[in-house]
């Protein structure tokens, strides 16, 4: 019993220490942001790495999620005889919820792991130490552009995801199931408000900060061995996913 209590206390204090380190690191990242934005070319490169290279997977997933939403939504709504509302249901679901969340989860898997392993390998091959020795702050030169790249790429990717998703829902609902296209679009236009879109934008911005910070933190602090880099990559996906879902609930509760 005492053993369990001790282990519980240890793991709790361990997590608290980790949360504290995370907070300090995120604080450092945010404080460096204005200066890092001045070196815009480096940031643009990373927006390309994190964003443009994730486009295919985001678009494909968006299409299929939208199509499933079209099928399930149609099946559900026609039970109440209101299948014309399919456009509204799909758009709200995608813009407010599925777009930001699924994009963030996919982003953690594609771009987050790439970032973490890249930084981890840079540490393992002494590139980070070499930067230090050249009197170049690695956080400023290497970490910041990657973090900002994620923060900028995430809302853009989420927007594309939602757009393609709505197209997918339309494809199934209108073309396949025969929902009236006029009803589909006009109801959507009438019901979806700017506030709904903003909810999605805010969420994806917050997820961008979270996923970016977790990936660069884990990579930058990886133990410089093959195993350490592997573990950092895994932790990036696991932590990002849990944090995104947790934040999603909190943000939804606040903004509804």
Partner 1 sequence: MQSETSPAVGSLVRLRGVRYVIGGRAIFDGLDVDIRRGEVTAVMGPSGTGKTTMLRLITGLVTAERGEVLVDGEEVSRLGRSDLYRLRRRMGMLFQNGALLTDLSVYENVAFPLREHTRLPERLIRPIVLAKLHAVGLRGAESLLPAELSGGMGRRVALARAIVMDPEILIYDEPFVGLDPISMGVVVRLIRELNDTLGLTSIVVSHDVHEIAAVADRAYLLSGGKVVATGSPSELNALDSAEVRQFMQGLPDGPVPFHYPAPDYAAQLFGARR
For partner 1, the binding residues (CB under 8 A) are 122, 125-127, 129-130, 132-137, 141
Q: Taking each helix axis from N to C terminus, what angle separates 55-79 and 99-107, rounded to the nearest 10 degrees?
A: 150
Where does residue 178 fall: left (phi above 0), alpha (psi -120 to 50 degrees), or beta otherwise? Answer: left
Tell the smallest beta-carbon distance from residue 126 to partner 1 (Å).
Answer: 4
Q: Which is nearer to partner 1, 46 or 187 (CB)?
A: 46
Q: Which is nearer to partner 1, 197 or 228 (CB)?
A: 228
Q: Which is nearer to partner 1, 122 or 153 (CB)?
A: 122
Q: Which is nearer to partner 1, 38 or 134 (CB)?
A: 134
Dihedral of CA atoms 150, 151, 157, 162 in degrees, nearest 10, equals 140
CA distance linking residue 97 with residue 156, whole number of Å:
15
Tell the smallest beta-carbon distance from residue 106 to partner 1 (Å).
Answer: 24
CA distance linking residue 94 with residue 92, whole number of Å:
5
Q: Taking each helix axis from N to C terminus, what angle separates 99-107 and 226-255, rounded to the nearest 10 degrees?
A: 170
Tell the smallest beta-carbon distance from residue 10 to partner 1 (Å).
Answer: 19
Tell the smallest beta-carbon distance from residue 147 to partner 1 (Å).
Answer: 17
Under 8 Å CB-to-CB from 255, ≥6 apart: which residues?
199, 202
Tell the smallest beta-carbon distance from residue 135 to partner 1 (Å).
Answer: 4
Q: Which is nearer to partner 1, 136 or 176 (CB)?
A: 136
Polymer length in residues for the chain? 256
């Amino acid at each position: 019993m005492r053993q369990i209590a001790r282990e519980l206390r240890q793991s709790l204090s361990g997590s608290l220490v980790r949360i504290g380190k995370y907070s300090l690191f995120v604080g450092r990242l945010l404080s460096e942001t204005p200066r890092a934005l001045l070196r815009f070319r480096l940031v643009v490169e990373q927006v390309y790495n994190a964003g443009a290279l994730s486009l295919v997977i985001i678009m494909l997933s968006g299409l299929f999620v939208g199509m499933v939403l079209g099928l399930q939504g149609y099946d559900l709504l026609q039970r109440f005889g209101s299948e014309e509302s399919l456009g509204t249901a799909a758009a709200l679901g995608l813009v407010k919820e599925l777009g930001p969340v699924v994009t963030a989860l996919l982003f953690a898997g594609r771009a987050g792991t790439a970032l973490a392993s890249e930084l981890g390998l840079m540490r393992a091959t002494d590139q980070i130490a070499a930067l230090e020795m050249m009197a170049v702050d690695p956080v400023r030169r290497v970490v910041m552009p990657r973090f900002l790249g994620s923060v900028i790429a995430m809302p853009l990717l989420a927007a594309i995801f939602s757009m393609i998703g709505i197209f997918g829902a339309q494809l199934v609902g209108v073309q396949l199931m025969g929902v009236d296209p006029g009803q589909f679009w006009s109801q959507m236009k009438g019901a979806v408000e700017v506030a709904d879109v903003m909810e999605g934008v805010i969420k994806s911005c917050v997820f961008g900060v979270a996923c970016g910070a977790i990936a660069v933190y884990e990579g930058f602090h990886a133990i410089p061995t093959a195993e350490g880099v592997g573990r950092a990559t895994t932790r990036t996906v696991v932590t990002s996913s849990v944090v995104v879902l947790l934040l999603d609930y909190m943000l939804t509760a606040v903004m509804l």
